[in-house]
């Protein structure tokens, strides 16, 4: 219910903002409801010198140090803002375009914010901030998934049976049902949870090295390492025609079978050795092996 209410509230706020943008003139983002030229008392065809003279004349008249009237102070702020817009050729051109094309609300608004805030923001700071935010969300998401997976595993009968077996092993085959033993069981449960870290696939404990920000920082190192590895591979096996080492042959076999690294690690050594000797990275050998597997599967049915 709370989530639905929040979604409705966000939709209403977005609709109000959109409606206000549509009904308000695009020039209002520059000098509010006023005309920047009218505030300085000049025409739209006035040159830079005329605009500057008009501003200095009005600023002397309405400056808070010379005129204590509160209304005059507000007018001075508007005059200063109008001058900031009209003294710059690019900003003035954007303002003139907004006057001539008031229907292009979103385009004029985007140009205004780009002109006023785009040049003030360091691109490097934006990139660093974006990476930090993404990394924080990524870490939070992974940590949440990991904790949820741990809680689900703790509710399974298999976990409870292993916990009892571990408790019996620690207690020498005897179980004490005293009240104080509950604390011991809690400690044993925490110890056993640590042993589950590498057993939960798809919801591993978050690692700083896997964060998008860290990976981005290490990207040059990663690319350099990959290029070096590719160069060594090409020289050793394509140029010198050397036989594949066990590790490289194992890698080729794993890739040929389309197996993930975790799945390949679960294969026993004897099976790995047999698969490597079959040279499955060569297409005829792989096709022959897959044909054997299909026949074996049909036979078992």
pLDDT tens track for 179-217: 444 444 566 666 666 655 445 666 677 888 889 999 999
CB contact set of 76 (below 8 Å; sequence gap of 6+): 58, 59, 62, 63, 64, 67
- Name the least confident of 41-45, 94-98, 179-183: 179-183
Residue 72: band (very low, low, confident or very high) from pLDDT cuts 50, 70, 90: confident
For residue 21, what pLDDT is reported? 43
Q: Give the pLDDT confidence of 146-169 residue by residue, as tens digits.
A: 888 878 877 888 777 777 776 677
Could you give the CA distance from residue 175 to residue 158 in angstroms, rounded to a whole number? 19
Could you give the CA distance from residue 278 to residue 286 in angstroms, rounded to a whole number? 8
Maximum alpha-carbon separation in the chain: 101
Question: What are the E-state strand segments in 147-249?
Answer: none
Could you give the CA distance from residue 177 to residue 214 in angstroms, rounded to a whole number? 49
Could you give the CA distance from residue 55 to residue 115 in angstroms, rounded to a whole number? 22
Separation of first and last alpha carbons in the chain? 51
């Amino acid at each position: 219910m709370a989530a639905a209410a929040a979604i409705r509230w966000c939709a209403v706020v977005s609709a109000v903002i959109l409606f206000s943008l549509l009904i308000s003139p695009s020039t209002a983002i520059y000098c509010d409801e006023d005309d920047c030229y009218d505030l300085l008392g000049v025409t739209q065809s006035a040159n830079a010198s005329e605009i500057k003279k008009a501003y200095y004349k009005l600023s002397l008249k309405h400056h808070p140090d010379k005129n204590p009237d509160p209304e005059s102070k507000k007018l001075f702020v508007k005059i200063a803002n109008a001058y900031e817009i009209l003294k710059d050729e690019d900003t003035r051109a954007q303002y003139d375009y907004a006057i001539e094309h008031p229907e292009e609300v979103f385009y004029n608004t985007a140009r205004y914010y780009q002109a006023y805030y785009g040049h003030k923001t360091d691109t490097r700071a934006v990139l660093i901030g974006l990476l930090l935010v993404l990394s924080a969300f990524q870490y939070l998401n992974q940590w949440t998934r990991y904790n949820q997976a741990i809680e689900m595993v703790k509710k399974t009968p298999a976990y409870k049976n292993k916990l009892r077996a571990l408790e019996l092993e620690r207690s020498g085959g005897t179980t004490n049902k005293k009240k104080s033993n509950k604390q011991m069981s809690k400690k044993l449960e925490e110890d056993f949870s640590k042993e589950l870290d590498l057993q939960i696939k798809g919801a591993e404990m978050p690692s700083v090295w896997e964060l998008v920000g860290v990976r981005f920082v290490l990207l040059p190192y990663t690319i350099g390492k990959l290029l070096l590895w590719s160069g060594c591979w090409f020289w050793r096996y394509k140029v010198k025609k050397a036989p594949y080492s066990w590790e490289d042959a194992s890698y080729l076999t794993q890739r040929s079978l389309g197996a993930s690294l975790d799945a390949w690690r679960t294969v026993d050594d004897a099976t790995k050795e047999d698969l490597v000797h079959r040279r499955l990275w060569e297409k005829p050998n792989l096709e022959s092996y897959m044909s054997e597997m299909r026949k074996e599967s049909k036979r078992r049915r």
